[in-house]
Structures are given as structure tokens and as C-alpha cells.
Structure 1
Amino acid sequence: MTRRKSLSDHGVQNLKPRSARYVFADPELGGHYVRVMPTGSKSFVALARDPNGKQVWATIGATDLYEIDKSRELAREAIKRIRAGLPAFEERPKAETFKDVADDWLKRHVRQKGLRSEAEVTRLLNAHLLSTWKDRLFHSIRRSDVAALLDEVEDDHGARQADYVLAIVRGIMNWYAARHDDYHPPIARGMRRTDPNSRKRDRILDDDEIRAVWKQAESNGTFGAIIRLALLTAQRREKIGSMKWEAISSDGVWNVPSEARQKGVGGALQLPESARKIVAEQSRVGENPYVFPGRGDGHFQGWSPCKRRFNEKLSAALRKEAVERGDDPEKVKVEPWVVHDLRRTARSLMSRAGVRPDIAERVMGHVISGVEGVYDRHSYRDEKADALKRLSALIETIVSPSPGKIVRFRKSR
């Protein structure tokens, strides 16, 4: 065969298949070939020897994907790399989907750092993000995509839920940006759907509200027991919901566990008699280790549905009482409150009961600031026991009203 002086794109197209595979040398670049298969498919390839003298063939790509000038450019680079002992082509980064990045973030950030929010973060990821962006290329997600997703979440689940989702998206994107040179998160200021300052709560329940909530809680099973313990111990709802039998000693001391990266807890708390009675009323469920069991071997988790049903029953009870008094039941309204408001209420009641502020703060597990917090390592076990005893006594006087007391819920501030 007479060797051609040049090879054009048209010449590549005119190469005919044979009964066996063959390669056609590019006369303009040594080591650059067109490989022709018996089926008629063609591809550009490069050939060079590595530093050990071994021949290395590198496929550049199908001839219908590249013009010959581009193939020669890629072949020159491949030949140079092979001769240097490197792979023919630089490894191209994997085109990562949102799920790829989210899974890596969960593994290397959330779980590795032991974040307490893992369960809730995973739930929101599955419910709102992976259901929409699971197979979407991560780099293709733009600010408009995030805004559209937040609009959907806000419309269906409220502004606060949208902000929780935004926090997860921002966390994933910032984490990814810290690990890659060429990525810039599309998140911008002003994407929040609520004002953080407006969410700060100062809500506490007054005596009439405490009385009404306590009365309803007495006939509301597990959730009602948790509500009453929240008032009697001033502990966070998650700690009460995950209380274990083994954490309560025979003399009624509850050793509130503290986990890594967690805010302070009350430590060892001598439960008042009223709280011990509530715990004793709970039934053990098989091998489940929790005082308030959930599904399987887990602990109580159903906060939102239980709180919603509790409020419905509370409203119905208050309307019934209004009818019995001859008042208009339509004017009875339960003002908004959340379980955490009970912790704030209990703290306020301790002050009212004459408990020293520093002792009340220790009951709640708050960090004592300054030199005292650094050097005073006393457990204050007896002082905390006295504080909870005083709190329990005050609650007892509140939930036992004088006859004819009218129950009204005030507006939240």
C-alpha cells in the first residue's frame, strides 16, 4: 500500500473494513492510528513505549466523536504521558450525583463527628432532597433549583421546615466546596424563609395553662407522662423520651446521660416522689431498655403526631368545661406552645420556689460561666435534689386549684 502524505476526516471515513481488525497509521503523527474493526466501526488510538520498553496502546475514542486534528492533539499528550510512565490520560473526576455527595457527607461529617441530629437530617434528606435530586449531577444544581425546592417545602410543610432543609443543603455544599478546588456553592444570603430572631421564644405557661396541660396529661398515656416529667425535671424532651430503666437507681436517682458534642445535662438528679411515681407507672416492654419504648428496641419518637393529638384533646376538654360553665366554647383557644416551653416554664417555677439561680442552672445542665464554672467541680447533688423537690411542691399547689377556678390560655408573647 502506498503511504499517504496526509490523512483528513474524509480519508478516515473512507477507510474500509476487512475480514480482520487492522490499524491505519497517521502519516502526520507517529504513534497515531485509526483502528478499523470488521464491523466497520473505527476509533483513534495512540501507541508508545513506557520507560520499561513495553508497548502501550491507548484508545482515544470513536472517529465520529473527534475530528482528526483533535485526535492528534490528544494522541500527542497520551504519547508524552506513556513515555513518562504515566497513565495515557488524566483520570477524569467522576460525575457525582447529589446522592453520591450526600452519602459521603453523611459518612464523613455527620456520622464521623457523632452529630445528634443524624436521625432528623437523614429523614429530611430522604423526604425532600433525595426524592427530588437523587440522580441529579451535583455540579448542575443551581440557586434557582434550591429556591424552587424551598418553595415546595414551604408550601407543603411550612417555612421552618424549609429552613431546616436549606441548612442541610448549605451544609452539604459548603462541605463539598472545602474539598474541591473548582466548586462554588450557589447558596446566597436571603434564602431563609423565616427570621431567626423572630423564632427566639420566651413562652412559659402560666398557672392556668399548667393546670390544664397537667390534667390532660394525666389521661394521655406515654406522651402525658413525658409532659409531666418535663415540668417536674426541667430536662430536654429527648432526654426524657430516651430515659433508660438502667439509668434510674433504686433510690430514684436518674443519671442523665451526656453524649459527645451535646449540650450539658443535669447529671445525677434525685427525682422527687411525684416523678418517681410517674416512672413506676410505666410498663416494661419485653427486652426494650427504655422507660418510654418506641418501635422495636427503640425509644419514644412520635413527638409531632402525639403533640397534635394532645392539643386536640386539650381543646376539646376546655370547650366541654366552657359549656358546663355556661360560657361560649367557641371563644376557648389553646395558644401555641411546644414541649420545650415546659423546660423554660420549669426553670421559671424554680426561681418562684426560691431556688438559687446557679442551682437551677445546674439542674438544667447549663454551663456555669466564669471562674466558678472552671474551678467549682462540686456535684451539687443535694442542692439539685432540693431544687426539684421545691419545684414538685409548687407544681402540686398549681395543679390543685380552688373550686370554680376558670381556665383560660393567654396569648403567647
Structure 2
Amino acid sequence: MPAPRSLLKPFEKTATTDIPNPKKRLVVFDPATTGLAVLVTPRGAKTYTVVARAPSGKQVWKEIGKPGEISIDQARERARIAVPRIKAGEATPLPPETPVAPPETFRKVSDDFLALYVKNKERPLRSAYEIERQFKTHLWPRWEKRVFVDIKRRDIAQMLDEVERDSGASMADHLLATLSKLMTWYAGRDDDYTSPIIRGMRRTKPSERKRKRMLSDDEIRLVWKAAGEAGVFGAIVKTCLLSAQRRDKVRLMRREDVDMETGRWTIPSEAREKANAGEITLPPLAVAVLKSCKEVKGNPYVFAVSKDKAFNGFSKDKVALDAAIAKANGGKALEPWVIHDLRRTAKSLMSRAGVRPDISERVLGHVIHGVEGVYDRHPYEAEKAEALHKLAGLVTLILNPPKGNVVPMARGAA
């Protein structure tokens, strides 16, 4: 609570209260600070002013601020700096202020994170595409212009609540993992920053995040038929099932890496990648899918879109594919599934077709653990080719089952 006007000393009263315009310039010195005064002009303008003698002996008056813009304590601090500078012959009573950089926004920090860590030219993350998609889809629309250090735990919790409601708990946890990487990365570059993310913010348990979904024979028939009318995206879906490879490996397949006559596909290794399938021979059914994709001049990718880019419209096209499947299934949608479930389905189909587990693991490009992984360096190219041939044969049998061997799926309400 401010002191009553009657108790204020003349300097403080002049600086903090309205006074009638004086007939001539009014100067009230501060008894607590050498050389500091409040100067009031006949028009009522107030300034904090310091007065001191320069080395030449001349008395120098210099303004150091205005009441209302700086406090009395700030004026006194400035006077303690200004008076010695005037006595030393300095041209200005106060040293020039060091420019204060504007606070970094969430967009600025995340752009740096993407450039320097996620998409580092020497060692880019394999998940770079997905991480950047998360920023574009979920994080930048919310926080693009927010000051990064002002984003608190409650902001993150609120965002996770919204994402969990709209996109599911797994998506919320994926975003939390990305934010954790971002904030830990930033904390490593700032002495005062501490990440607001703590244990217990995940929306699912690790055991719950392990997917078990695989497509049944009836679902494979529905997906295959709808994919046949879904253009480039549909061809990617079919290839994922027939090759058992990860979605991005298929999406980024280059024409120079695959022989369209023999089906031999050399899968490039990426930085930080533990393992992949290396060289595999795709079966004729998969090669036919690849040949159905239109070649775009100047575009190196099999699943090409305009100019020099590979297909990347998974979210929109997956929604359209699911809608087409539901329509063909009498309005009944499939149990929720993702493209990666085709890889699990392919693994299970290979086991069903009699492929040895260690061979199917090599087809999937998994790391072979233990002594076998250390000492067995055989490429298993013939075995992997046979495994994919058996997979394609079983898929063909599923798509064209012997008559009397198919039980139609129940039709939902129109």
C-alpha cells in the first residue's frame, strides 16, 4: 500500500503525484542520492535528471528517465551510474544498453530442432518424416507463436487431452515423446531451462501400446479390392503386404533400386538404422503392382507424385480407403487398422505358409539377436525370395479361394 501523500518526502511527492504547473522550472533534489533530481517544466512535464560537474568544471544536466516510465528505485540506480560518468567526462550519462534478443518462439525452437537434430545431414533420424508431420499437424497450429519457455506442464497436459480425445491415446503418447525429445534437446543448450515433462504424463502403458492387429482373410480381400481402385496409395498398400517391408521403405522405393524384370530390390540403409532386409526378390504379383504405377519423368520414385516427390498423403488417402471398404462391406467398417498392421499380417501369413521364423525375421529386416546374429553372416537371399514367393502364393489363394471355402462377412445395416 503506497504511503499517504502527506507522509511523502518532497522528492518522492513531486515524482509520484500530480502538482499544479509551476510558474517556472521546478527542481527537487533527492536527499538519498547524490546528483539526482526531479525536474518539472512550466508545462508540467517531469523528468528524472542528474547534475554533476564535468572535468572542465562545467555543470552538466542530463535526463535519465521519466516518472511513470521508470520507478524511483530505477532512477536512483541510474543516477549512481550517471553521475560518475559525467564527472569522468563521458559524453552520455548512461552506457548504451545491450540489445535484448526477442524471446524464442515455439516455431523457432522446433525449426532449429528439426534442422540440427531430426534432419541432421550426417545422421538424420529415421522418424524424421513422422516427427515433422506431428509438428505440422498438431503442434504448430497450437503453439507456433507462443514463447517456447512459457509453455508449461498444464499446456502440454491440455494438448494431450485434446489429442487423446480426437486421435487416440497412442497419438497423444507419440506427441509426448516428440515434445520430450525437443525439450530435452533445448535444455542441453540453455543454462536456465528445465523441461516441464515429468513421468506419469503418458496416456497408455507400454504393454498397451504393443499392437496385435492383423488382417483376417476376409479383411485382406476387402482391402485388396479397395486398394485396386485407390491409385498410388493402393499400390503402396498392396506392396506393403506382399513385401512385408516398412511403410517408408516402400514409399521411398526408387526405380534405380528395383529390377522390374527380376523383382530384385536393393533396400538402401539409412543413418542410425539398426538393420533392414537388404536385398530381396519380390514375387511376380508384387512386380505387377509396381509396373502398374505410372512413371513420372524426372521423378526417381516408383510411387511418384508431381515433380520429384514421393507419395506422402497417407492420412487423407487412408480415410478414403476405409470409406471405400465400408461401402463395399455393406456399410460395416473394419476394426481400426494401420498400414503397419500389414507387416504383422505378412509375418503371420509367412508362418502359415511354412516359412521358418528365422527366415521371415530376415525378410522383415529385424535384427537377429544372440550368437546367431553375431556369427551367421549368410545373406539368405534365396531363402528370403522363397519366403516372399510363398507369401504371394498364400495371398493369391486368399484372394481367389476354392469355391465353397469362403464364408461371407456379416453385412451391416445399409
TM-score interval for Structure 1 and Structure 2 normalised by the shorter chain: 0.7 to 0.9
> Quick one: which amino acid aligns to residue 316 of structure 1?
K
> Quick one: which amino acid aligns to residue 250 of structure 2?
I
Structure 1 position 392, deviation (Å): 1.9
Aligned to 1:265: 276
Check 1:256–1:66 CA distance in 2 against 1; reply closer, same or farther (3 A cut).
same
Post-superposition CA distance 1:357-394 (Å, at most 9, x none): 22211111111112332233332222222222222222
Q: Contact (CA 8 Å) 1:46, 1:59: kept in 2 or not?
A: no
Compare 145-154 and 358-367 and name the one that shifted more: 145-154
Q: Contact (CA 8 Å) 2:11, 2:38: kept in 1 or not?
A: no
Structure 1 position 29, deviation (Å): 6.0
> Quick one: which amino acid aligns to residue 112 of structure 2?
D
Q: Contact (CA 8 Å) 2:11, 2:30: kept in 1 or not?
A: no
Compare 292-301 and 102-111 and name the one that shifted more: 102-111
Distance 1:203 1:237 in 2: 16
Post-superposition CA distance 1:218-264 (Å, at most 9, x none): 44432332222222211012111221111113532111122112352
Distance 1:375 1:33 in 2: 86
Distance 2:196 2:13 in 1: 45
Aligned-residue CA RMSD (Å)? 4.2
TM-score (norm 1): 0.76
- The answer to whether residue 217 in structure 2 is matched with residue 207 in structure 1 is yes
Check 1:310–1:36 CA distance in 2 against 1; reply closer, same or farther (3 A cut).
same
> Quick one: which amino acid aligns to residue 291 of structure 2?
A
Compare 62-71 and 365-374 and name the one that shifted more: 62-71
Check 1:143–1:355 CA distance in 2 against 1; reply closer, same or farther (3 A cut).
same
Secondary structure, aligned partner of 1:96: coil
Aligned to 1:358: 358
Post-superposition CA distance 1:302-356 (Å, at most 9, x none): 222222222222233333xxxxxxxxxx7x5533322211111111222222322
Compare 333-342 and 267-276 and name the one that shifted more: 333-342
Aligned to 1:368: 368
> Quick one: which amino acid aligns to residue 382 of structure 1?
A
Distance 2:32 2:207 in 1: 70
Aligned to 1:107: 115
Q: Contact (CA 8 Å) 1:252, 1:271: kept in 2 or not?
A: yes
Aligned to 1:71: 75
Q: Contact (CA 8 Å) 2:353, 2:394: kept in 1 or not?
A: yes
Q: Contact (CA 8 Å) 2:47, 2:64: kept in 1 or not?
A: no
Q: Contact (CA 8 Å) 1:79, 1:88: kept in 2 or not?
A: no
1:278 aligned residue (282, 285, 289): 289
Q: Contact (CA 8 Å) 1:45, 1:61: kept in 2 or not?
A: no
Aligned to 2:6: none
Aligned to 2:304: 293
Distance 2:307 2:46 in 1: 59
2:174 aligned residue (164, 185, 190): 164
Aligned to 1:382: 382
Distance 1:32 1:376 in 2: 85
Q: Contact (CA 8 Å) 2:277, 2:363: kept in 1 or not?
A: yes
Distance 2:71 2:312 in 1: 62
Q: Contact (CA 8 Å) 1:253, 1:271: kept in 2 or not?
A: yes
Compare 192-201 and 250-259 and name the one that shifted more: 192-201
Aligned to 2:135: 125
Q: Contact (CA 8 Å) 1:150, 1:162: kept in 2 or not?
A: yes
Aligned to 1:349: 349
Aligned to 1:326: none
Q: How does 1:9-408 map to 2 (within 5 A)?
A: 9=12, 42=47, 62-73=66-77, 76=80, 94-112=102-120, 113-249=123-259, 250-319=261-330, 334-408=334-408
Secondary structure, aligned partner of 1:287: coil
List gaps (5 residues or longer) in structure 2. Answer: 1-8, 23-27, 55-61, 89-94
Q: In percent, how many aligned pairs have the same letter?
A: 46
Aligned to 1:324: none
Aligned to 2:58: none
Distance 1:234 1:59 in 2: 77
Check 1:60–1:239 CA distance in 2 against 1; reply closer, same or farther (3 A cut).
farther
Secondary structure, aligned partner of 1:269: strand
TM-score (norm 2): 0.75
Ranked by relative contact order (alpha carbons within 8 Å, sequence separation 6 or more), the top structure is 1
Q: Contact (CA 8 Å) 2:173, 2:202: kept in 1 or not?
A: yes
Check 1:336–1:102 CA distance in 2 against 1; reply closer, same or farther (3 A cut).
closer
Q: Contact (CA 8 Å) 1:209, 1:408: kept in 2 or not?
A: no
